[in-house]
């Protein structure tokens, strides 16, 4: 099933690895440092802008993008191999303009945006000049069932009025976040999956307030952040509606399918780096008259981690391979399997690496604690694991009913 990637993709992969070694890893601590002071905390680090310029100059830009000359035209399967390299560092995706949630937002603007919407929002996103967020989850309802979404999108003449509260909106804390893509309810009398719409809301629109940042196990991830947003009768032009009223589920699914598999691709890289750190630590630390690497429990942890990561990688590759041949909808079950398997497996691998690092693994001195928070987050984000298991179970049962 899994063939070698094309020569062009292999060349991009080699150049990406070299760039990571030369520019990203040596500067990773500075790029990820949490600035505790309020001033400038949510602004992009000047060093990040410098590295983005170097990456773009070397053609290592928009590696995910397939909808025009701004990208590299890679298949999902080819991008999987590059995305694994990006995933080894939490700082890397933005360097190459392959960062979430902008990747998913660029996808839906490319698929569903009007020429005017693309010119205003897609172009600066592809150029890395601005950032964006996708506002769906709400604090008052179980947002894993998107039909629960309560934020109102009401037509008023030549405008829509948006009212509601959203939270866990990744990227919204950034001072460079200029666009919120908002999912809300536009017609409560329509059929269940036609009640929702998606609309483009500028972050500087009157009535839109960034209420507060939210933390994941104490990590707030500046300059991106996860925010709680309030939409207090926010008026936007009617032409900001994306695709059309009642088509919110169509837009969201067009975004979430590729987005889920991109997360899994990056997490394979996190797992690889965790195993590498675990091995280096085990070989260098001595306790009770021997190295940690000579202790049976540590060797079992390393061996089990390798088994689990290879399984996770193959699941991810299969999903990407099927997406290329049959589309995201046909590959939805493979994507769901990867979404369930990969974050859980990588989370366990990182947890073992933390244990081998002892107290240091719990600190910010290593990237492991923040990486663990990231993988734990995704077991809820992009649809909780339970939702995906339920869909998979229905598909299995239907084969025998």
User: Of 385, 351, 173, 191, nearest to 274 (Cα)?
Assistant: 351
**pLDDT confidence of residue 382:** 84
Q: In the CATH scheme, what is the homologous superfamily, with its name and number, of domain 131-242?
A: Butyryl-CoA Dehydrogenase, subunit A, domain 2 (2.40.110.10)
Kind plus residue range of the DSSP H or E element containing 281: helix 248-284
Q: DSSP assignment of 309-331, as one string?
A: HHHHHHHHHHHHHHHHHHHHHHT
CATH no. of 7-99: 1.10.540.10
Could you tell me the end-to-end alpha-carbon distance of the chain, in angstroms, rounded to an integer?
30
Q: Break the chain into its structural domains and give their ranges.
A: 7-99, 131-242, 249-398
pLDDT digits (tens, 9 = 90+) for 306-349: 999 999 999 999 999 999 999 988 999 999 999 999 999 999 99
pLDDT digits (tens, 9 = 90+) for 65-96: 999 999 999 999 999 999 999 999 999 999 99
**pLDDT confidence of residue 223:** 87
**pLDDT confidence of residue 311:** 97
CATH no. of 249-398: 1.20.140.10
Low-confidence residues of the chain, pLDDT below 50? none
User: Taking the model in full, what pTM does it have?
Assistant: 0.94
**pLDDT confidence of residue 34:** 59
**pLDDT confidence of residue 389:** 96
**pLDDT confidence of residue 393:** 97
């Amino acid at each position: 099933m899994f063939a070698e990637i094309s020569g062009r993709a292999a060349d991009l992969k080699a150049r990406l690895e070299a760039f990571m070694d030369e520019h990203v890893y040596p500067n990773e601590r500075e790029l990820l440092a949490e600035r505790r002071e309020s001033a400038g905390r949510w602004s992009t680090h000047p060093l990040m802008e410098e590295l983005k310029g170097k990456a773009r100059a070397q053609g290592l830009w928009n590696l995910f993008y397939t909808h025009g000359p701004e990208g590299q035209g890679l298949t999902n399967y080819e991008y999987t191999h590059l995305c694994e390299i990006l995933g080894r560092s939490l700082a890397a995706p933005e360097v190459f303009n392959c960062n979430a949630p902008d990747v998913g937002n660029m996808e839906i603007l490319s698929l569903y945006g009007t020429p005017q919407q693309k010119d205003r929002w897609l172009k600066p996103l592809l150029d890395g000049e601005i950032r964006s967020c996708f506002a769906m989850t709400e604090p008052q309802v179980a947002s894993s069932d998107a039909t629960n979404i309560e934020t109102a999108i009401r037509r008023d003449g030549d405008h829509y009025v948006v009212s509601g509260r959203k939270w866990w909106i990744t990227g919204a804390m950034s001072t460079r976040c200029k666009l919120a893509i908002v999912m809300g309810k536009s017609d409560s009398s329509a059929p269940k999956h036609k009640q929702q719409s998606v609309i483009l809301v500028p972050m500087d629109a009157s009535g839109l307030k960034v209420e507060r940042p939210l933390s994941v196990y104490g990590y707030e991830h500046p300059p991106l952040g996860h925010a709680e947003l309030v939409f207090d009768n926010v008026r936007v032009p009617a032409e900001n509606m994306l695709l059309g009223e009642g088509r919110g589920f169509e837009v969201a699914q067009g975004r979430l399918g590729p987005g889920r598999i991109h997360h899994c691709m990056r997490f394979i890289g996190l797992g690889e780096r965790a195993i590498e750190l675990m091995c280096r630590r085990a070989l260098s630390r001595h306790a009770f008259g021997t190295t940690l690497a000579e202790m049976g429990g540590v060797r079992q942890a390393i061996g089990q981690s390798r088994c689990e990561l290879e399984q996770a990688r193959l699941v991810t590759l299969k999903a990407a391979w099927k997406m290329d041949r049959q589309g995201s909808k046909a590959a939805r079950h493979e994507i769901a399997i990867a979404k369930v398997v990969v974050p859980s497996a990588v989370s366990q691998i990182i947890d073992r690496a933390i244990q081998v690092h002892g107290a240091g693994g719990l600190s910010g001195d290593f990237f492991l604690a923040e990486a663990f928070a990231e993988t734990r987050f995704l077991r809820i984000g992009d649809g909780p694991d339970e939702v995906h298991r339920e869909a998979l179970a229905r598909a299995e049962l239907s084969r025998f009913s």
